[in-house]
Structure 1
Amino acid sequence: MDIIRILSEHFRDIFGAVKQRASSPIVGTFFISWVLINWKLVYYFLFSSEDVADKIRHIELYYIDVFPNLYLPLAFTATYIIIYPLLLHLTNTIWVAMDNLGKRGSSYFIKNRIPISKEDQRRLFESMARQEARYKAALKEKDDEIDSLSQSLNFQTESLRRAKSTGFSSSNSSKFDMTVSDEKPTLIPDVYKVIESVDGKFRFEDILAREMDLDKDDTLHSKELSTYAEIIKMIVKRYPEPWKIQELTILNGGRQNLSTAAVHSNAKKLISKGWLIEIDFMDAKSLAFTDEFVEKLNSVAIG
């Protein structure tokens, strides 16, 4: 009984594997095409009254040919596998197009046959248009909110990564992890207003000129100083999010347009000074303040 059970399980596995292979489109298509092309061979073998040996000899003499037995079924199978998905996609496309056409026809019929006055009809469609506009406005508002939250989350993640990579020793890391958010300096409110005021602008540009070794009275140095100041102001406006590197317009005794490449080149000098860092934010090269420069700006604002 054990032998019978083992053999039955073994053959059941074999039949299952054969069934799985036969159910594939390639095997099934090849088998059906082979039977259709070689139907005379199949008919003779199944229904001829001759004995098996004579059938085999007759088949070997008259029906064994590599072209109908192999090449034609393979060609039919390849054609079917290539053409069938295209036809299926085409019919689905036609179906969807006709369905949409039918819906538009029904909408047109209802619009022109609806048993109400033209004035009521106009008010009805205006109401529908207003509802659609409100829906689109609400959807855009939610999309903008999602984008804003996503950008804020990405920036906070990047800030946390930078904070953790500042070089704490492993023995002190657990102690500093609990306090890093408290110790990390943040820009005080209204910094932008301060550095745009008369006194604040003077202190701000004085620090920039001194730290960057520039002469405020020199024409060339003055333009370079204005470029640095404008880049920093753009980052202050976006704080705490990074500022995407882009074109700038500098007003310093005239109007000067800086390309993105020129802005990036000037920003590299501030990066080498240790004031800015360059990061990828929302798939764009962006600039953010270092902790050192946040403290420096805070000192300017405090006076």
Structure 2
Amino acid sequence: MNIPLSILELVSITEQTDARGALDNARDLAAHAERWGYNRIWVAEHHNMPGIASAATSVVLAHIAAGTNTIRIGAGGIMLPNHAPYVIAEQFGTLERLFPGRVDLGLGRAPGTDGVTLRALRRTPDAAEQFPQDVMELQSWLAPVAPGQRIVAVPAAGTEIPLWILGSSHFGAMLAAEFGLPYAFASHFAPADLLPALGLYRDRFKPSHQLDRPYAMVGVNVIAADTDAEAHRLATTQQMAFTNIFRGARGLGQPPIDDIETYWTPIEKAQAGRMLARSIVGSRDTVRAGLEALVEETGADELIVVSMIYDHAARLHSVKLTAEAAGLL
């Protein structure tokens, strides 16, 4: 597999690890991933979720970046309707000044939370309708200062941080194509439209100042262990987390169990199975075959891996085995 491999870090709070531990684990994972040849590590914005410690996304990225030297760091993504573009420019411009040449800014239009929390963020539900305009405004704040410009996003102006559009539907694909931006598809939890969205993006892509040809990154759940059986056991943590979403019982990450069939109902199994359809679970050889098949099927320019594993040491082992399977080591 001759394409870059990256990590989407969930900064998971578990029954064993508090928020500080989750943040330090994310930094430790990034340091290992850097040595193992991963291209970038991204963190996503989520709010009011007891099991995720990445709400203050730019602050989390600064913590991760300070413990690494070369790996790219970025948002995967910032939910732009939650924020004034000017403020996001300031935050990520600051990151770029601190860690030059290493910062990505992925943008999504979903709230990353529920409606009640959305109001606490002081945004309105229809803010997402302004997403294309917000993206263009953000680009303008990151551009070099124009003559006579009265308002400047200090220290962001002139950084021209690379923007990405994130999506799980045709909307994001069309927007990324229209703006000539790289596109990351969230097939790690919403795989249904993966292939149509990639086709739409590539067919409609218009070259831009940032990018002259389409560049698509595909999200995939990868859980690797020494044996297929052990990997499937580790995967029950993620399966339980998705089951809990349907139950309206989002909580802390749970340790793996021996038999997932004792946890979910047939309907929950079907629901979670649809969301987790793009998952590769198994030994190093199984993972290698799965990654190669995914790249062949999608023509992805890069893969970004999600590994929701309860124990930090087991997750590190999974990430290393995945690097080996992908030929990074």
Q: TM-score, normalised by structure 1?
A: 0.20
- Where is the strand percentage greater, Structure 1 or Structure 2? 2
Q: Say which one has the larger Rg.
A: 1
Q: Relative CO higher for 1 or 2, CA cutoff 8 Å, sep ≥ 6?
A: 2
Q: Could you say which structure has the higher helix fraction?
A: 1
Q: TM-score, normalised by structure 2?
A: 0.19
